[in-house]
């Protein structure tokens, strides 16, 4: 559908990259100046919370304090007492769910904003711009979408993911991220004859988890504080598996967190007198700030673009990652711009139409600024 839409809009080199399944397209430059090619990237997949049969609702001229009913039965509502972010949107048009699904503004709002910006540039040829590259990809929500991103085929010199949250969000620092899987081999015998023989893998899984710092959990941390997050624990006396994600903005602390995992396993194996616990670590992505800090111009242009369209930049480290985390390490600096979504990944998700318009304005302004460098 996107290929058809982009082709109908008159963009060039519209194709699906066979390496990554991204749809790529180019809006050619309309100036003879030598201008860097700028890319804008969004993902088309959504989170997996009731993601089918989405029926958006439009709330016009929201008053900033009323409760917004979502479903007909009134079981689910957007209440400013629960979601104080609603108070920011007085007088604006909100797009909400009907209470049964997510909305999908993450990141279909980004897709819409990029398409709207391209259409605006086409309709206003007096606005000088260099080559504009657009990309729409899959699988961001499961963390694999950018694994095979083809930077050479995309052809941009700088890029932005349009995948952030509320108005003004600008991110160029993300977590360093790893996954850890802990496998514990037990010995299962009858409890009546267990003394000195049984090795209860479930119990030792609990002991392993208890050896991690008590407060280094997502629910206990914020800002630049990293964490260990156990998201799966399954098994029996005979065999138990634990799955974690490990996160930290600082690379040295990140590496120390991984060493703690292997250190706990080594100590427990030493006490067993044999290797019963195995830890498998897999890095997922790194803090793109390490790359972008070497040439922060890509961030400075985004900041100036926001200010030019009366948006105050809100810069903060992401407690997560974006496709730009991986793409930046492939040699294409790719910070993240706001797309407007609030309460993402659930039935209470909503987005402001006016914020989406501002996101479109920022994209257009970035294209303009690159011609002035």
Is 295 labelled a binding residue? Answer: no
Yes or no: say if 44 and 139 are a contact pair by the CB < 8 Å rule. Answer: no
Among 113, 139, 140, 342, the active-site one is 140
Spatial separation of the C-alpha atoms in residues 105 and 11, rounded to whole Å: 24
38-43 and 132-137 strand pairing: parallel
Residue 24's φ and ψ, nearest 5 degrees, are -110, 150
- The answer to whether residues 324 and 161 touch, using CB atoms and an 8 Å cutoff, is yes
Determine if residue 279 is left, alpha or beta; phi over 0 gives left, psi from -120 to 50 gives alpha, anything else beta.
beta
Q: Within its chain, how far is the Cα of 322 from the centroid?
A: 4
Place of tokens 């514990």: 184
Q: Is 249 annotated as a binding residue?
A: no
Q: Is 141 annotated as a binding residue?
A: yes
What is the Cα–Cα distance from 326 to 55, expressed in whole angstroms? 33
Catalytic residue list contains 147 = no
Q: CA Rg, the chain, in Å?
A: 24
Helix ranges (H only) for 78-200 are 105-123, 151-154
Give the whole-angstrom CA distance, residue 256 versus residue 259. Answer: 5
Give the C-alpha separation, 295 to 50, whole Å. Answer: 41
Say whether 219 is catalytic.
Answer: no
Catalytic choice (45, 71, 98, 157): 45
Is 43 annotated in a binding site? The answer is yes
Question: By three-state DSSP, how is residue 306 classified?
Answer: helix
Residues comprising the binding site for Zn(2+)? 43, 106, 141, 163, 345
As annotated, the binding site includes 43, 106, 141, 163, 345
What positions carry a catalytic annotation? Answer: 45, 140
């Amino acid at each position: 559908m996107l290929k058809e839409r982009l082709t109908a809009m008159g963009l060039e080199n519209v194709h699906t990259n066979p390496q990554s399944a991204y749809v790529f397209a180019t809006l050619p430059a309309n100036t003879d100046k030598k201008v860097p090619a700028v890319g804008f990237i969004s993902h088309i997949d959504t989170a997996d919370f009731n993601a089918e049969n989405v029926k958006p609702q439009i709330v016009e001229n929201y008053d900033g304090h009323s409760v917004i009913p979502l479903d007909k039965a009134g079981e689910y509502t957007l209440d400013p007492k629960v979601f104080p972010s609603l108070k920011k949107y007085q007088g604006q048009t909100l797009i909400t769910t009907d209470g049964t699904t997510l909305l999908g503004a993450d990141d279909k709002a980004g897709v819409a904003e990029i398409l709207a910006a391209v259409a605006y540039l086409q309709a206003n040829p007096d606005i000088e711009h260099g080559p504009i590259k657009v990309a729409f990809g899959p699988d961001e929500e499961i963390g694999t979408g950018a694994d095979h991103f083809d930077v050479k085929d995309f052809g941009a010199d700088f890029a932005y993911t349009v995948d952030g949250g509320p108005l003004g969000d600008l991110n160029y620092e993300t977590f360093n991220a790893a996954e850890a899987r802990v496998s514990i081999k037990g010995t299962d015998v009858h409890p009546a004859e267990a003394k000195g023989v049984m090795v209860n893998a479930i119990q030792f899984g609990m002991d392993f988890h208890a050896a991690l710092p008590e407060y280094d959990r997502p629910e206990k941390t914020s800002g630049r504080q990293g964490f260990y997050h156990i998201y799966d624990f399954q098994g029996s006396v005979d065999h138990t598996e634990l799955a974690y994600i490990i996160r930290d903005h600082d690379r040295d602390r990140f590496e120390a967190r991984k060493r703690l995992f292997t250190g706990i396993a080594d100590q427990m194996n030493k006490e067993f007198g044999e290797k019963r616990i195995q830890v498998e670590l897999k890095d997922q992505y790194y803090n793109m700030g390490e790359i972008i800090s070497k040439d922060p111009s890509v961030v400075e242009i985004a900041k100036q673009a926001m200010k030019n369209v009366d948006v105050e930049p809100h810069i903060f480290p992401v407690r997560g990652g974006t496709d730009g985390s991986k793409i930046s390490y492939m040699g294409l600096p790719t910070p993240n711009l706001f797309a407007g979504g609030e309460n993402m990944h659930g039935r209470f998700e909503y987005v402001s139409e006016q914020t989406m318009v501002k996101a479109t304005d920022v994209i257009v302004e970035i294209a303009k600024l690159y011609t002035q460098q």
